[in-house]
Structure 1
Amino acid sequence: MDSSRERLTKTAKKIHFELTSVLKIALLVVVDAGLIWFILQLLTNGFLPIAIVFIIILLFNTYVFLAPKAYPLRWMAIGLSALLLFSIFPIIYTTYVAFTNYGDGHLLSRTQAINQIQAETYLPEEGKAFEWIAYRSDVGEYMLWIKDAEGKALLVRQTDADYDEHILEVVPGESGIGELDEQGAPTTIDGFSRLNRIQAATDTNLTKVKFGEPEKTVQVRSPQEAAELLPRYHYDEEEDSFTDQLTGTVYFAKQGTYTSQQGRTLAPGFRAGVGISNFVNFLTNPALRGPLALILAWNFSFAFLSVFLTFSLGLAISILYGDPNFRGKKILRSLLIIPYTIPSLITILIWRGILNENVGIVNTVLRNLFNFAPAWTTNHWWARAAILLVNLWLGYPYFMLVTSGALQSIPSDIYEAAEVDGAKGWNVFWHITLPLLLVSVGPLLIASFIFNFNNFNLIYVFIGGGPPIPGASTRAGYTDILISYVYNLAFEGGRGVNYGFASAISIVIFILIAIMSLIQFRFTNMWEEVSENV
């Protein structure tokens, strides 16, 4: 009896295992099919880099869920895939873009750019222009009624359609042609609907269709005119060049743009590698060197002053409330933490209203009391002061909390020994409190410096980097830091976006932050040595 139960139990477990395996494989097939479809869409639309990432994810997950040896990785598969997609790939792709001309005018691949240039047409001297009316069938085929300057009218069918005759005489009753209107155009054609001007103007496919005989086609080029157009540019694959059929000018590919010897260019360009030219441009271009020098100097000054001011105020409050005889310190400390609990975006917007030059409460009070109102947004010195003021309000609660805990961790017997030796006031603070405090708080100071070095939200939300720097060749402001300047170049440049240049600056920022991180370790070791001598 017991052996029968054991056999039934084993059989049930086996069936359960097999069903689980089948369901697992079925789910994997469904997920893989969806990923394959998505990858094909990416490849069709020219997004090769991101398609490669999804191919890696597809192969990795398929291997992990099918190979018994990879069983431990199943619990991390989704996390590792997300890490690759959202962390590793952006870093690699940003590095790649930094060495390209990717930006406005160079957003397409070479194939897409060639196709667009080849699609451009012109009307030769012997070509004719026509009035036109379009007809469309239920299956999406088109027919065009055209009339030349001499009044001769014809019906022309799509060049790529399978018809014995592509050009028809406009004769009512023949080939399904109905009665003619006052212009001589058929009011009806069997199997086709006549398009009015609004329908024809909104039909984006109509201008792409060629009508008539293959050797002499007609194309719609405006709401009023169709013409015997020819391709303007002839592409030579061997030479990788375009020849202008109208002027005879030859254009060769040069760093992503087809350029003639006279310096004329064809649009659009295409993505191409430009080596280290973006970095060279960043370091040597006189037009960029001016604003970049100002922005870089302000970036370091802003980060340093922000850390110094917030740490100083937070520490002063911690020391003040550390006095056991101070009354009501718990309530006051709770109130002082409020700026830290409110989302920074809301706080920045509130401060932007408070410091409004015309109706802000600060300028209103100053104007009434002293007949003076700072230009918080139009004068670059006052704008920088406003930025530091808002950041002080946002940052001091953090250091107040950090230093409060750090001060309590300093042994009281050290202070007692110092008092016995006659040390008082500032001597105790400079030689005992601050060195011991920096041992635990020092790394946080450098981390705060790095955070403020890239504090994009404050700069962008409060003032957008303004006021603008006069004469700057790119969009740049006196309160811009490197990260906001990169954003302007990539997304809000008045002269077009330049993702390649912005990516190059991003790499420079990364290198600067890496250097700061190394300095952090160096100072951490130094503060530990100082604490040992206290």
Structure 2
Amino acid sequence: MQTVKVAEILGDDTPDSQQTPDQVNSRFISPHFIKWCTLTLIGLMNGYASILMYSRGETSFAVLTLILTSLALYIFGSKKTYAHRYIYPGVAGMILFIIFPLVYTVGIAFTNYSATNQLSFERAQSVLLDNTYQSGDSYKFDLYRSENGYRLAVKDGAQLLVTSEINLTKPESLRLTLNATDDVVGSKAKIKDIIKNRATLNNVDLVLPNGNEIRMSGLRKFAAVQPLYRVESDGTTLVNNKDNTVLIPNMDTGFYQTIDAEGNYIGDPLAPGFTVVIGTANFERIWQDDGIKEPFISIFFWTIIFSGLSVLATVIIGLVLASIVQWEALRGRAVYRMLLILPYAVPSFISILIFKGLFNQSFGEINMVLEAMFGLSPSWFSDPISAKAMVLMVNIWLGFPYMMILSMGMLKSIPDDLYEASALDGAGPLQNFKNITFPMMMKPLLPLMIASFSFNFNNFVLIQLLTQGGPNMIGTSEPAGYTDLLVNYTYRIAFEGAGGQDFGLASAITTLIFLLVGGLALFNLRFTKLSEK
């Protein structure tokens, strides 16, 4: 690699013998040298971070860090790829925020990852090995404050046993010997001092005169404590020290369990569980468990109906209103246009919460008007059909201004010559709309309709703020509601599951949603290409 001399760049032809040492050294500073030093430093730092993440069980994040770092070093370190350095932030963002979450979610779909199975096998085993049980007598104790620290006093029958003085903020030793005495020097500390120093006291081992050790087992007592489990030589089998029960890890369910003489797993699973790969079991649950299959199918069709009706209604209303506000004979068009755009200008969550109050079954203004005029008082939040109708009405209200704005722009693009020629043929407004306006607008509007369908397919905010999926279905294995969309149903399984948070099943449903929405996106792209020909 040829170095760049600063003197040559600046036009300095002074002989080396007449230059200072700093000038001589500065001639050999190379931009490539600085770049490679920077890349090396970044590589070492991210490599060390990856090792730390891997050591803590975060393998996926360690791999992600290595991929992003390797890609950066390749792009910025190679002359062939250096021209692509400007697109690296976009590529890295796509990997970090799109590809990685997708791959991570699909990976979880093939595991039993849930509220009860969150840990790795090694971590779950470590937690179980940290469990203890009281294996001997307990002894009441008191904490005494002395001049330079504290003393621990334990009563063994009529005998008083005391430790040497210890500084609990900076303990010199966590293994203290108890000695018999007649009196304790110092004043008895209050319970708040024990609570304050409990973290240190929990790590103190007291040695009785007979050699037995006791540890803190409560705010007022020490006791002989031993580990509840011990691990056998194979590294996986646990034995209960209290009753000598043998526990074997069940790699199908992710729990330690006892086994019978034939090697079959019996008894209750031992928490905490650990994460294991279960193959397609989560996907099979969707089709085999009636408590999941029936609500899933019902919610799937409701999601399609909700998305389709929302798009169809907003397009029709938006197109009609756009045609009206574009009518030159209409006075005050600007005022009407502004009023019709207002629902789109107001943040959607505010409008949804307002509608939630308006549709209140007891005090809402909508029911008051309906009851006064027609004697009706619909149960918007408890009746499935009424709830679905309410959700559709609110979504149409929020969506029609967007379609109206699009239609207004598209109407402007239609040549006036077509309407003039139609007028000469004696056509009226309805015939113009049928033969000119509608056909001319549908071609550019259809891709936007498909995009709107995809958005409504995952319209999580509307359902969550308005009905929270209710009214709830009865007899389901996982929480499900009549107004739930697939995305809301997935959220409820992931965070509100009947048997705890079931992230594996939620990820399986998310994977299916991705395939459906991805198919719509591909169809949209395919249609756009065909329309451009």
| Percent of residue pairs identical | 32
How does 1:423-502 map onto structure 2 within 5 Å? 429-430=433-434, 432-493=436-497, 495-502=499-506
2:109 alignment partner in structure 1: 98
2:280 alignment partner in structure 1: 276
Displacement of 1:287: 1.5
C-alpha distance in 1, partners of 2:308/2:121?
A: 46
Q: Please state whether the residue corresponding to 1:89 is helix, strand or coil.
A: helix
Q: Please state whether the residue corresponding to 1:347 is helix, strand or coil.
A: helix
Displacement of 1:72: 2.7
2:118 alignment partner in structure 1: 107
Displacement of 1:326: 1.9
Displacement of 1:295: 1.4
Are the aligned partners of 1:379 and 1:467 in contact in 2 as well (CA < 8 Å)? yes
Q: Is structure 2 residue 342 aligned with structure 1 residue 332?
A: no
1:50 alignment partner in structure 2: 61
Equivalent residue letter for 2:222: A
How does 1:512-523 map onto structure 2 within 5 Å? 512-521=516-525
Q: Is structure 2 residue 231 aligned with structure 1 residue 221?
A: no
1:169 alignment partner in structure 2: 179
Q: Please state whether the residue corresponding to 2:478 is helix, strand or coil.
A: coil
Alignment CA distance shift 1:219-1:350 (3 Å): same
Displacement of 1:7: 1.9
Q: Please state whether the residue corresponding to 2:230 is helix, strand or coil.
A: strand
Alignment CA distance shift 1:364-1:133 (3 Å): same
Aligned counterpart for 2:140 among listed residues 108, 131, 135: 131
Equivalent residue letter for 2:192: I
Q: Which is further off, 10-19 or 405-414?
A: 10-19
1:351 alignment partner in structure 2: 355
C-alpha distance in 1, partners of 2:289/2:333?
A: 56
Are the aligned partners of 1:435 and 1:527 in contact in 2 as well (CA < 8 Å)? no
C-alpha distance in 1, partners of 2:223/2:111?
A: 40
Are the aligned partners of 2:493 and 2:503 in contact in 1 as well (CA < 8 Å)? yes
C-alpha distance in 2, partners of 1:483/1:259?
A: 35
Displacement of 1:341: 1.8
Displacement of 1:88: 2.1
Q: Is structure 2 residue 323 aligned with structure 1 residue 319?
A: yes
2:289 alignment partner in structure 1: 285
Aligned residues: 506
Displacement of 1:156: 6.9
**1:280-315 residue CA offsets vs partner (Å, 9 max, x unmatched):** 112221121232222112111110111011111001
Displacement of 1:423: 6.3
Equivalent residue letter for 2:364: G
Displacement of 1:142: 9.9
How does 1:119-198 map onto structure 2 within 5 Å? 119-124=130-135, 127-133=136-142, 145-148=153-156, 150-155=157-162, 167-171=177-181, 179-180=183-184, 187=186, 196-198=190-192
Displacement of 1:327: 1.9
Alignment CA distance shift 1:164-1:292 (3 Å): closer
C-alpha distance in 2, partners of 1:27/1:238?
A: 47
Are the aligned partners of 1:243 and 1:250 in contact in 2 as well (CA < 8 Å)? yes
1:6 alignment partner in structure 2: 11
Displacement of 1:243: 2.3
Displacement of 1:439: 0.8
Q: Please state whether the residue corresponding to 1:229 is helix, strand or coil.
A: strand
Alignment CA distance shift 1:469-1:404 (3 Å): same
Displacement of 1:30: 6.7
Q: Please state whether the residue corresponding to 1:170 is helix, strand or coil.
A: strand
Q: Please state whether the residue corresponding to 2:270 is helix, strand or coil.
A: coil
Displacement of 1:374: 2.6
1:257 alignment partner in structure 2: 255
2:4 alignment partner in structure 1: none
Displacement of 1:110: 1.1
Displacement of 1:509: 0.1
Q: Please state whether the residue corresponding to 1:349 is helix, strand or coil.
A: helix
Are the aligned partners of 1:128 and 1:228 in contact in 2 as well (CA < 8 Å)? yes
Equivalent residue letter for 2:83: P
C-alpha distance in 1, partners of 2:403/2:466?
A: 23
Q: TM-score, normalised by structure 1?
A: 0.81
Are the aligned partners of 1:257 and 1:268 in contact in 2 as well (CA < 8 Å)? yes
Q: Which is further off, 9-18 or 510-519?
A: 9-18
Q: Is structure 2 residue 207 aligned with structure 1 residue 207?
A: no
Are the aligned partners of 1:218 and 1:227 in contact in 2 as well (CA < 8 Å)? yes
Equivalent residue letter for 1:167: T
Q: CA RMSD in A?
A: 4.0
**1:388-411 residue CA offsets vs partner (Å, 9 max, x unmatched):** 111111111111111222233334
C-alpha distance in 1, partners of 2:158/2:490?
A: 59
Equivalent residue letter for 2:194: A
Alignment CA distance shift 1:68-1:302 (3 Å): same
Are the aligned partners of 2:175 and 2:205 in contact in 1 as well (CA < 8 Å)? no
Alignment CA distance shift 1:120-1:296 (3 Å): same
C-alpha distance in 2, partners of 1:523/1:348?
A: 33
1:118 alignment partner in structure 2: 129
Alignment CA distance shift 1:137-1:54 (3 Å): farther
C-alpha distance in 2, partners of 1:326/1:493?
A: 55
Are the aligned partners of 1:144 and 1:211 in contact in 2 as well (CA < 8 Å)? no
C-alpha distance in 1, partners of 2:502/2:249?
A: 20
Q: Please state whether the residue corresponding to 2:464 is helix, strand or coil.
A: helix
Q: Please state whether the residue corresponding to 2:389 is helix, strand or coil.
A: helix
Alignment CA distance shift 1:187-1:368 (3 Å): farther
C-alpha distance in 1, partners of 2:467/2:511?
A: 25
**1:126-152 residue CA offsets vs partner (Å, 9 max, x unmatched):** x2222234689999x99854334x344
Are the aligned partners of 2:119 and 2:273 in contact in 1 as well (CA < 8 Å)? yes
Equivalent residue letter for 1:171: T
Are the aligned partners of 1:357 and 1:377 in contact in 2 as well (CA < 8 Å)? yes
Displacement of 1:441: 0.3
Alignment CA distance shift 1:430-1:251 (3 Å): farther
Q: Is structure 2 residue 238 aligned with structure 1 residue 242?
A: yes
Equivalent residue letter for 2:275: R
Q: Please state whether the residue corresponding to 2:408 is helix, strand or coil.
A: helix
Alignment CA distance shift 1:524-1:31 (3 Å): closer
Aligned counterpart for 1:230 among listed residues 226, 231, 236: 226
Are the aligned partners of 2:343 and 2:401 in contact in 1 as well (CA < 8 Å)? yes
C-alpha distance in 2, partners of 1:472/1:138?
A: 66
